[in-house]
Chain A
Amino acid sequence: MTTPTETPTVRPEEVLIEAISGMLAGLSHVAVGASSPIPGAAAFLTNSRAPTKTRVSILGSERNFFNEGARELFDLAGQGRIDAFFLSGGQIDGQANVNLVAVGDYRKPKARFPGSFGSAHMYYLVPRVILFRWEHSRRTLVEQVDFISAPGVSPANVHRPGGPHALITNLCLFDFDRQRARFRLRSVHPGHSLEEVRDQTGFDFDLPEDGQVPFTPTPDAATLETIRGPVARRLAEVYPTFAARVFDLGSAA
């Protein structure tokens, strides 16, 4: 690995925001669902860099550019009018299956999560779904999920223009290869290592073609200013608690 040029004041959340934003550049319409403050910030960052190019919709916001809420969001996805979306999971496995429901026996689970939200629709229809899971551990990234809210890949006869594009955690960024149904490590966040990623991942994954694992780039000073200023203020409308905790910002709603 090469030594990263670290800015000591960069928050780990800000590394993820920059990395996700890089995957959204050039897209027309990015939608953000429930409980996704870091993806939301990344979408706003992309929009602030290209305000006339990338539209952002946030479920629960009162400032979307459409006016029929969740219903319209899913209808937009059904028609292919959304280019990128985010999903998380209580468990995510090596085939990119997502579990938002339960661990253990479904009828009497050891752990119960909130539920599948829109995953069983959006994962199939949005071309670029970015999986997001802050906690990178063998508890969350497992060999096989206990419940498939939405599968990573589908048989050829199932209508599926969309699917997993990447997985980002507090440790690293993986790309997903839909043909092989496997993750490939793209980069490790500054302050972490390949060994740590291996130790904390419950599934098998590929390394970059050249065997070299780079560090995830950190945002530059101008980007940090944008994240901490206009992006944080827009985020506070929908995620006041996150904005207050990470950016020390009260709700602007």
Chain B
Amino acid sequence: MDITPTSVESLVSQVEDGAMIALPPQYSNCSLVMARALIRRGVRDLHLVGVPQMGLHADLLIGAGCVSVVETAAVTMGEYGLAPRFTAAAKAGTLKVLDGTCPAILTQLQASEKGTPFGVLRGMIGSDLLKHRDDWKVGENPFAENDPIVYLPALKPDFTMMHALKADREGNIWLGVRRELMLMARASAATLVTVEEIVDENLIADPVTAAGTLPAIYVSAIAEVADGAWPYALPGGYREDEAHLREYMTLAQTEEGFQTYLQRFVFDGEPRVAAE
């Protein structure tokens, strides 16, 4: 079965207000081109799930007013500092933050992946995270005496959004060393992928590439778009645009500066991508 590649605008047109969207961490396969398209679409009340943490892609969507809930282990700009619009929204109390911890989010997605109602995880007991998470429960290990353990409900996002180096004609996605990203796609109801290029080889037929390939069975729609992770790096592709990220950090410190950024790099059209 072939997947017919579509446009980025068509991908994000599937996302309704209030959708729960799983996003990769800031160091890996973020589709910034889809985040910008979501902002142009004017989607509202998104529930973002950081798997297990997020960066610029989340900060842009939060700053643009598209998000009402973030569920994540962190929102960070890494070496560049605090994520400015996330920080401002959290301090103003306008953003609901469901604070988590990396392996808890991964466990919740693994439960969804298995089709089981919950997963269990060590740690966390005594952390204030539990005080603020009504959905996480401390229970007993049924196979031992006096051994409390945390129960975490399965988490099934409506969408996973990611960017990858390549897809084949059947819709298999090459993740290479980032095969950890398969988890979020397997756990989500639908997965939208932008890729640098679509290739003729069958990625899953060749055992060498199969292990690093997200099977098409989990992939809902694909768009071919160059520089789709920009200004972030794409593992195996290109490095991050440090000058641009620094410019973002400067502008996004204020609401006014952030609006200037949005106008220049989001609403005035894709800055580095040729018109399709």
Interface residues of chain A, those whose CB is within 8 Å of chain B, are 34-35, 37, 60, 62, 67-72, 74-75, 77-78, 100-102, 106-125, 147-151, 154-155, 157-159, 239-242, 251, 253
Contacts and interface: CB of A to CB of B under 8 A. Distances in A.
A158 B72 CA distance: 25
B128 A148 contact: yes
Given A117-B74, A148-B128, A74 B90 contact: no
Contacts of A241: 79-80, 242
B106 A74 contact: yes
Contacts of B78: 34-35
Contact of B121 (A102, A121, A239, A251): A121
Given A34-B53, A70-B102, A121-B101, A114 B82 contact: yes
B75 A115 contact: yes
Contact of A115 (B53, B123, B183, B233): B53
Contact of A109 (B27, B90, B233, B239): B90
B183 A71 contact: yes
Contacts of B127: 116, 120, 148-151
Chain A's interface: helix, strand, loop or mixed, by majority? loop
Contact of A121 (B93, B103, B239): B103
A109 B89 CA distance: 10
Contacts of B242: 240-241
B216 interface: no
25 contacts: A34-B53, A34-B76, A34-B78, A37-B79, A70-B106, A70-B180, A71-B103, A74-B102, A78-B103, A102-B90, A107-B93, A108-B92, A114-B75, A115-B74, A115-B76, A115-B100, A117-B74, A120-B104, A125-B122, A147-B128, A148-B128, A159-B147, A241-B242, A253-B233, A253-B239
Interface in B91-112: 91-93, 97, 99-104, 106
A121 B74 contact: no
Given A34-B74, A67-B177, A157-B147, A116 B103 contact: no
Interface in B159-181: 177-181
B91 to A, nearest CB: 5
Interface centre among A106, A124, A158 (most CB of B within 10 A): A158
B123 A123 contact: yes
Contacts of B181: 69
A116 B100 contact: yes
A216 to B, nearest CB: 25
